[in-house]
């Protein structure tokens, strides 16, 4: 293969299609075939240039066939590692041991162990741990209760791919035995949870939410699952995700919003958010590439944390985009998210993108000393809210101000072509599922509209390799630009989908939290987000807790799953 052929901006997927054409036509380069590339590439070549290219391009079919002869597992990343750290910046270094996040014992009320009684279902992790510490509840009892809730309501929500009853009860029994010996692993000891079904768990199906993989068994366990096992948490179920981590449509149906069963829960962490919101599990693990924690959390009134890229190991998780995928907790409060994150973050030799940075959450009661950026639209003294969404956000801004924060106008400014940045994701995803497209098994996918993955994967094959590299270079410029701008504030408070903030911060790897801040006129929850500096999960979780406590929205739960009961937020004894 000549060097010149690599410098030519050949289409990644078009070339593969070309190879198929070549294998079925005796004269692949006759009749001016190369003339058809001008419009797509935006380049014009002379006939002499085309004649010169013909031999080099003609070598591609053989190359493609040799590539297809190699088995490449989904988990195998390209031979480069994405790093969100701006040039000239040192990542935080864990130079000392930080204690595990601990909270004072919580006030708890009465409950029964009937799955129809929701009082236990909506207690915080701290309340559940307090009950077990005081001997009022065992892990086996709690796990049995949660399995009952999943059985009772899981089909209604279409949120469960499989219950892991045998594994869960064995874990719970072990946690009770350890507790009896005075061996407490931490604040998650004995507490059940659910996993988005793109996390591998040995001896269970890992379906990725998609028909072609619904019987898939991956004989390993994801690092995040192992970390939660080590923390004493009890895995009770695999929860639904939109097929191949997009949307809320999976091979078994469409996961529902617990607040409105006529509406999907959004995706792709559809089952994780819906099950947590409905009190089927105390917490769940989700993933985000471009909104898959934020969006379903907003839709279902859950609290979610999208960590800094590289804070949580992706080993054993389905890869959609090796440079954008992130794993984080979906809970019912910021403090619950902090407890879970404390257990799952950290470096992992099996994931070269991970960092070993410190985390030391402390409960705060004010926002004194913090400078919070707010989109300039809402900081204009003459601004009048134009919608109920804007009114809710303005109320949240006032809560932050009353809690002591200094508010300043802040908008991300850049002149970079972000419109094309989505192709960074689709091209990586098309590569991750190359075999699915080539085999034709993508026809088995339930969702087949133009915006669905099967069509996106096919279209991505026509994206030129040179332009894809250029997009990555522009991404490097974006990382530097956003880093310099965000230094002006401690964090950013904004509507979750404000302008291009969601896309920008997923590309740069910045962390964010999302939590409910009100209800629509139809009684459905809506949320707000706080965006932080790289590796600064601590401050955005602490700030989120302060605002969340003042708002009190997270203490309200979907009526169909509560029997009309309301569980008040925990208080300190």
Question: Could you please report the per-residue DSSP string of 33-89?
Answer: GGGGGHHHHT----HHHHHHHHHHHHTHHHHHHHHHTS---TT---SS----PPTT-
Lowest mean pLDDT among 107-111, 333-337, 468-472, 547-551: 107-111
Q: Worst-scoring range by mean pLDDT, 68-77, 106-115, 459-468?
A: 68-77
Identify whether residues 53 and 150 lie together within a single domain.
no
- At 250 the three-state DSSP class reads strand
Residue 278 lies in a domain: yes
440 CB burial (10 A radius; 0-12, 13-18, 19+): exposed
Based on C-alpha coordinates, what's the Rg of the chain?
25
Confirm whether 492 is domain-assigned: no
- Counting the structural domains of the chain, the total is 2
Q: 253 with 350, same domain?
A: yes
Neighbours of 511 (CB within 10 A): 27
**Is residue 268 flagged as an active site residue?**
yes
Residues 57 and 161 in one domain: no
The predicted pLDDT at position 533 comes to: 97
The pTM is what?
0.88
Are 129 and 63 members of one domain?
A: no
Here the tokens at position 444 are: 């088995």
Each residue's pLDDT tens digit, 361-378: 999 999 999 999 999 999
**One domain, residues 170 and 276:** yes
- Distance, CA of 38 to CA of 34 (rounded, Å): 8
Whose tokens are 């992706």? That residue is 314
Q: Does residue 96 fall inside a structural domain? A: no
User: 3-state class of 193 per DSSP?
Assistant: strand
- In this predicted structure, the answer to whether residue 572 has a pLDDT above a threshold of 60 is no
Per the domain annotation, does 31 fall within a domain?
yes
Least confident of 74-83, 271-280, 543-552, 553-562: 74-83
Q: Residue 572: inside a domain, yes or no?
A: no
Q: What is the mean pLDDT of the chain?
A: 88
Domain interval for residue 40: 1-70
With vertex at residue 310, the alpha carbon angle to CA 308 and CA 312, rounded to the nearest 5 degrees, is 90
* Active-site choice (118, 124, 265, 268): 268
CATH of residue 283: 3.90.1300.10
Q: Name the catalytic one among 124, 139, 196, 321.
A: 196
Report the percentage of the chain scoring pLDDT > 70. Answer: 87
Q: Is 569 a catalytic residue?
A: no
Q: Are residues 297 and 218 in the same domain?
A: yes
Q: Are residues 130 and 60 in the same domain?
A: no
Tell me if 214 is assigned to some domain.
yes
Instruction: Say which of 118, 272, 277, 292 is annotated catalytic.
Output: 292
Any catalytic annotation for residue 333? no
Q: Which residues contact 327 (CB under 8 A, 6 or more apart)?
A: 224, 285, 286, 287, 307, 312, 313, 314, 317, 344
Side-chain half-sphere of 33: how many Cα atoms within 13 Å? 17
Give domain status of residue 569, yes or no. Answer: no
Percent of the chain exceeding pLDDT 90 equals: 72
**34 shares its domain with 139:** no
The reply to whether 349 falls in a domain is yes
For residue 517, pLDDT beyond 90: yes
Judged against a pLDDT cut of 50, whether residue 538 lies above it is answered with yes
The closest of 31, 100, 527, 113 to 301, measured between CA atoms, is 527
């Amino acid at each position: 293969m000549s060097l010149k052929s690599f410098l030519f901006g050949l289409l990644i997927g078009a070339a593969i299609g070309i190879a198929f054409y070549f294998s079925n036509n005796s004269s692949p380069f006759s009749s001016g075939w190369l003339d058809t590339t001008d419009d797509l590439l935006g380049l014009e070549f002379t006939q002499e240039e085309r004649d010169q290219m013909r031999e080099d391009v003609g070598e591609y079919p053989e190359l493609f066939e040799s590539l297809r002869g190699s088995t490449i597992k989904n988990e195998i990343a390209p031979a480069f590692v994405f790093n969100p750290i701006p040039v000239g910046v040192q990542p935080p270094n864990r130079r000392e041991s930080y204690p595990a996040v601990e909270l004072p014992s919580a006030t708890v009320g009465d409950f029964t162990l009937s799955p129809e009684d929701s009082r236990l279902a909506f207690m915080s992790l701290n309340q559940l741990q307090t009950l077990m510490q005081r001997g009022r509840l065992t892990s086996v009892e709690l796990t049995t209760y949660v399995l009952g809730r999943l059985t009772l309501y899981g089909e209604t929500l279409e949120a469960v791919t499989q219950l892991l009853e045998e594994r869960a009860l064995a874990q719970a029994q072990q946690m009770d035995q350890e507790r009896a010996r005075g061996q407490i692993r931490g604040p998650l000891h004995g507490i059940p949870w659910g996993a988005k079904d793109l996390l591998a768990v040995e001896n269970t199906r890992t379906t990725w939410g998609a028909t072609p993989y619904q019987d898939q068994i991956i004989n390993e366990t994801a690092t995040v699952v192992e970390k939660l096992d080590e923390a004493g948490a009890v895995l009770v179920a695999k929860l639904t995700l939109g097929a191949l981590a997009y949307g809320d449509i999976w091979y078994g149906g469409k996961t529902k919003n617990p607040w409105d069963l006529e509406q999907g829960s959004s995706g792709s962490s559809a089952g994780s958010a819906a099950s947590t919101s409905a009190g089927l599990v105390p917490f769940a693990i989700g993933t985000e590439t471009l909104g898959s924690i934020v969006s379903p959390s907003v839709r279902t009134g859950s609290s979610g944390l999208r960590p800094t890229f590289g804070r949580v190991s992706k080993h054993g998780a389905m890869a959609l985009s090796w440079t954008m995928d992130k794993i984080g907790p979906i809970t019912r409060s910021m403090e619950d998210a902090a407890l879970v994150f404390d257990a799952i973050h950290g470096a992992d030799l099996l994931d070269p993108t991970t960092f070993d940075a410190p985390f030391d959450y402390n409960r705060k009661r004010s926002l004194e000393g913090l400078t919070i950026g707010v989109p300039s639209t809402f900081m204009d003294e003459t601004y009048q809210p134009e919608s109920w969404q804007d009114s809710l956000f303005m109320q949240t801004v006032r809560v932050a101000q009353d809690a002591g924060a200094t508010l300043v106008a802040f908008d991300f400014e850049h002149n970079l072509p972000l419109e094309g940045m989505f192709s960074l994701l689709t091209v990586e995803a098309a590569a991750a599922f190359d075999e699915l497209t080539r085999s034709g098994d993508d026809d088995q996918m339930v969702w087949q509209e133009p915006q669905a993955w099967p069509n996106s994967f096919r279209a991505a094959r026509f994206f030129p390799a040179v332009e894809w590299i250029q997009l990555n270079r522009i991404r490097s410029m974006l990382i530097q630009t956003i880093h310099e701008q965000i230094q002006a504030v401690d964090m950013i408070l904004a509507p979750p989908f404000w302008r291009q903030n969601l896309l920008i911060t997923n590309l740069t790897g910045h962390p964010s939290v999302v939590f409910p801040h009100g209800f629509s006129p139809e009684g459905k929850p809506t949320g707000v987000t706080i965006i932080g500096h790289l590796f600064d999960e601590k401050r955005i979780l602490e700030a989120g807790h302060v605002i969340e406590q003042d708002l009190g929205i997270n203490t309200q739960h979907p009526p169909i799953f509560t029997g009309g009961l309301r569980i008040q937020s925990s208080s300190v004894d």
